[in-house]
């Protein structure tokens, strides 16, 4: 009887075969370890978009896309959303356990005391065009942290890695707020250490020198919750980018800057900005039907932004929480946004449409988040920046995990070459 933990793959044309072990994690399907496949059979595997490929082992986040389950370090997202805070979740992602009160106090103290940007870094912003997209500024500013903290950083040293994590989580809101303020011509604000993480960020965004800021605590609570929901999401495109860059030994700031650029695309984190623009374009509930028709038209590249997910094929648990929260936050802030009506009509129309049902396309995390950001006064161009602030906790947790994993190798996929066969160079007059 064959070993149930082995998958045998036979290439009948060459009669070469490979016995491939099955690897199981704590949860989720077992994976076929194809590490010896090329040596045994002379073949690579082909999986564009990585639909069937696990690129790493990881103990940080688990998703069951069929059941709509998302766990950070084993804790269901619903429980964390209800009971935790973003900073506590960041600690959890980084350290694997929820902090005891004293551990959290130390972590919060460390974060709070690394929030300032180097004064020289502020000069960077002056070089940007006044209407530069904040994601462009964010990526450049985070990459430039390498220039400020490079010499004293040894990626092989756990203490240095931890310090980089603290710096990144601490400085991200400061840099993000600076991007926004530069774009509207306001002076940059220093972080106020007497405030907690999210409130401090909102102050840096909206406080003007001339008068005190009246902050509605509902806004800080809502943003904190959105940050929890965005903090990590397994091996998504930006996290995989961070890991790929990290696998070369690049420093964490360069690795996270690469993650930011990957996040920016509208198929990924840029969808939250795209959703709001699309809802505005649709304009009224009456136009929803024609938008759904366009999204189904295979001759039209138009897609419903905020719909569909590579992994979730039942529902996105984050979207469920955000949808509920959206109604609550708008009511508590006294905001009446007609776009919410358009969004609800769009969701209703798509959920009963065969095209969306057959393809298991449901609203994702980005569908309702933009309406909340808008209600908080955050401009549309900053939406993906919000996502990046939160995801920094996940990115750096993955970067650290990668460096703590013995035997990590540089990421180096192969290809199916479809170009010209070998040919000889011809001089110009003979071509």
The catalytic residue positions are: 309, 366
Least Cβ distance, residue 423 to ligand CMC (angstroms): 35
Counting contacts by CB under 6 A, is residue 271 touching ligand CMC?
yes
What mask of x and - would describe binding to ligand CMC in positions 330 to 369, judged by CB under 6 A? -----------------------------x-x--xxx---
User: 364 to 403, contacts with ligand CMC by CB under 6 A?
Assistant: 364-366
What mask of x and - would describe binding to ligand CMC in positions 223 to 262, judged by CB under 6 A? -------------x--------------------------
Distance CA 159, CA 164 (A): 9
> Judged by CB under 6 A, which of 305, 378, 393, 397 binds ligand CMC?
305
The DSSP string of 231-277 is S--SS-HHHHHHHHHHTTT--HHHHHHHHHHHHHSTTTTTHHHHHHH
Counting contacts by CB under 6 A, is residue 269 touching ligand CMC?
yes
Nearer to ligand CMC, 95 or 287 (CB): 287
Nearer to ligand CMC, 35 or 413 (CB): 413
Please check whether residue 184 is in contact with residue 162, taking contact to mean a CB–CB distance below 8 angstroms.
no
283 C-beta neighbours (distance < 10 Å), count: 13
Helix (H, G, I), strand (E, B) or coil at 6: strand
The most distant pair of C-alpha atoms in the chain lies apart, rounded to whole Å, by: 80
Applying CB under 6 A, the span of 160-168, 183-191, 302-310, 323-331 interacting with ligand CMC comes to: 302-310
Residue count at the site for ligand CMC (CB under 6 A)? 20
Least Cβ distance, residue 302 to ligand CMC (angstroms): 8
The DSSP string of 151-200 is TT--TT-HHHHHHHHHHHHHHHHHHHHHHHHHHHTPPPPPPPTTS-HHHH
What mask of x and - would describe binding to ligand CMC in positions 28 to 67, judged by CB under 6 A? ---------------------x------------------
> Judged by CB under 6 A, which of 111, 178, 245, 304 binds ligand CMC?
304
Helix (H, G, I), strand (E, B) or coil at 279: helix
Least Cβ distance, residue 54 to ligand CMC (angstroms): 16
Nearer to ligand CMC, 99 or 259 (CB): 259
> Which tokens sit at 178?
């600076």
Counting contacts by CB under 6 A, is residue 303 touching ligand CMC?
yes
User: 282 to 301, contacts with ligand CMC by CB under 6 A?
Assistant: 295
> Judged by CB under 6 A, which of 133, 167, 189, 268 binds ligand CMC?
268
Least Cβ distance, residue 319 to ligand CMC (angstroms): 9
Nearer to ligand CMC, 307 or 399 (CB): 307
Which three-class secondary structure string do you get for 189-233? CCCCCCCCHHHHHHHHHHCECCECCCCCHHHHHHHHHHHHHHCCC
> Which tokens sit at 336?
């009446």
The DSSP string of 101-163 is HHHHHHHHHHHHTT-PPPHHHHHHHHTS-TT--HHHHHHHHHHHHHHHHSTT--TT-HHHHHH
Least Cβ distance, residue 387 to ligand CMC (angstroms): 7
* Phi-psi group of 315: left, alpha or beta (phi > 0 → left; psi -120 to 50 → alpha; rest → beta): beta
Distance CA 308, CA 314 (A): 10
> Judged by CB under 6 A, which of 309, 320, 345, 398 binds ligand CMC?
309
Residues near ligand CMC, by CB under 6 A: 49, 236, 267-269, 271, 295, 303-310, 359, 361, 364-366
């Amino acid at each position: 009887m064959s070993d149930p933990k082995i998958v045998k793959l036979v290439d009948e044309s060459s009669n070469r075969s490979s016995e491939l072990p099955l690897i199981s994690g704590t949860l989720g399907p077992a994976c076929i370890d194809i590490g010896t496949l090329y040596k045994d059979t002379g073949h690579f595997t082909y999986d564009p978009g990585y639909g069937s490929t696990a690129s790493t082992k990881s103990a940080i986040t688990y998703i069951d896309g069929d059941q709509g389950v998302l766990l950070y370090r084993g804790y269901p997202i619903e429980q964390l959303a209800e009971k935790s805070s973003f900073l506590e979740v960041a600690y959890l992602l980084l350290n694997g356990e929820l902090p005891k009160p004293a551990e959290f106090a130390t972590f919060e103290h460390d974060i709070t005391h690394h929030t300032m940007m180097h004064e020289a870094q502020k000069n960077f912003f002056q070089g940007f065009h006044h209407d530069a997209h904040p994601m462009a500024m964010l990526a450049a500013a985070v990459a430039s942290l390498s220039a400020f903290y490079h010499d004293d950083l040894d990626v092989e040293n756990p203490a240095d890695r931890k310090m980089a994590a603290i710096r990144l989580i601490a400085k991200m809101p400061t840099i993000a707020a600076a991007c926004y303020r530069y774009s509207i011509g306001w002076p940059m604000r220093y972080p106020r250490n007497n405030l907690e993480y999210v409130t401090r960020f909102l102050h840096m965004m909206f406080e003007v020198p001339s008068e005190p800021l009246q902050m509605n605590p509902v806004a800080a609570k809502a943003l904190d919750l959105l940050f929890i929901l965005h903090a990590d999401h397994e091996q998504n495109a930006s996290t995989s980018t961070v890991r790929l860059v990290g696998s070369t030994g690049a420093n964490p700031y360069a690795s996270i800057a690469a993650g930011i650029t990957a996040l920016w695309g509208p198929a990924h984190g840029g969808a939250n900005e795209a959703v709001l623009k699309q809802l505005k374009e649709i304009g009224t509930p009456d136009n929803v039907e024609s938008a759904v028709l366009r999204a189904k038209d295979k001759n039209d590249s138009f897609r419903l932004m905020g719909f569909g997910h590579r992994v979730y094929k039942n529902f996105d648990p984050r979207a469920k929480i955000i949808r509920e929260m959206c109604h609550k936050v708008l009511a508590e802030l006294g905001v009446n946004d007609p776009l919410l009506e358009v969004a609800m009509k769009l969701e209703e129309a798509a959920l009963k449409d065969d095209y969306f049902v057959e393809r298991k396309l449901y609203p994702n995390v980005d569908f309702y988040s933009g309406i909340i950001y808008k209600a908080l006064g955050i401009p549309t161009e900053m939406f993906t920046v919000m996502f990046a602030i939160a995801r920094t906790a996940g990115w750096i947790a993955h970067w650290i995990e990668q460096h703590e994993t013995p035997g990590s190798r540089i990421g180096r996929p192969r290809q199916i070459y479809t170009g010209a066969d070998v040919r000889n160079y011809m001089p110009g007059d003979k071509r």
